[in-house]
Amino acid sequence: MALPGGGQLTERSSMVAVSLEDNGADQSAVSMGASGSGGISQYPGAPKVAKIVVKTVSGRRGQDPVKPPKKLAVFRCNWLCGLFGVRQFPPRGCWLVMDVCGVFCAIFTWLLLVFAEYVACTVILANSESAVFNWIAGAIFHSLIGLSFWSHCKAMFSDPGAVPLGNATEENIRSLGCGSEGADRIVYKCGKCSSIKPDRSHHCSVCRRCIRKMDHHCPWVNNCVGECNQKYFVLFTLYICAVSCFAIFMTVHHFVKCSDWDICRPTLTQPLPIVLLVLLIFESIIFGLFTAIMFGDQIHSILKDQTGIETLKRERHSWKRQSRMSLLEGVFGQPISWRWLSPFSPPSFTKSAPQRLCLYSV
């Protein structure tokens, strides 16, 4: 049986009995056991007992649960790092997925930004005759590079909305209570990370966690794109696309202007600057198109209120529909302001905050 949250429903289930309050009547005992094993019992005259049925969800039918998440590798810093207040890497409370492919892609992204900055400073801006152009173009380019880098770091080191590990305990399940009007409630438990599976959450095989409102796992940011870091990922694609377009403009402007200036002709006759400019154009075109497509796909998913993995699995749209402005505010914060474009400002919710921990319930 396929579930709207992804995965298959196994036959393993358990029930927690939670008594309904009745005027003048004592609450019944709370018990937990396997379904059909007599774990729930009533005595004569006892109040009505509503059940919370816990069903385990696995990735595929008959598939064994994967190994538990690896513990985060912590590296102790030397005395030099201690001068800046850093005692260990990653810092305490920092989210970092220890995936070799993801770490390589993230470092490669940083190197591409450094390469673009180097070519712009040493080849384009250093050989420009106009001081006004240098100041304006340099300020815009450096600002876009800084915003791109910080958006990438925030998307990489921010918790995407991971469900706490092993929270599917009897005490937590009992605290959920029953459904409306004393109806039974079905709570789904992930068989891979032993967590209560919230609404619209999916288990990531790389992070080895259930991620709330998971869109996809992006190796370029070495993290999942989920409920809590989708804003930073959208800004990362936006600023990378913007800096790529501006780099193409600066390169073309450099070739056009230097064809008429004697001061630039010696520079263009050298093979190395020409090779660097060609590589910069190639890099800008490739990643500009890629990030433009990703940015459009993210905005479309937000306005459609359907994540990428939900679209891929063709899951039924069973949740409450909202206006487009409410969907944008649920990602970038409330109300609409310039902070939507700032990776330094986390999303703030001043009105009714979105329901981030809504559970599947029947």
> Among residues 178, 193, 204, 218, which one is catalytic?
218
Peptide bond connecting 335 to the previous residue in cis, omega within 30 degrees of 0: yes
Amino acid at 153: C
For residue 261, the tally of other CB atoms under 10 A from its CB is 13
* 151 neighbors 236 (Cβ within 8 angstroms): yes
How many whole angstroms separate alpha carbon 264 and alpha carbon 117? 20
Active site residue 218: yes
Contact residues for 90 (Cβ-Cβ < 8 A; gap 6+): 72, 74, 96, 157
φ/ψ of 198, rounded to 5, equals -70, 170
* 152 neighbors 221 (Cβ within 8 angstroms): yes
Runs of H (alpha helix) within 192-334: 230-258, 265-269, 271-304, 308-312, 324-332
Peptide bond connecting 266 to the previous residue in cis, omega within 30 degrees of 0: no
**CA separation (Å) from 3 to 16, 152, 265, 310, 360?**
21, 32, 65, 11, 10
φ/ψ of 75, rounded to 5, equals -110, 125
Active site residues: 218
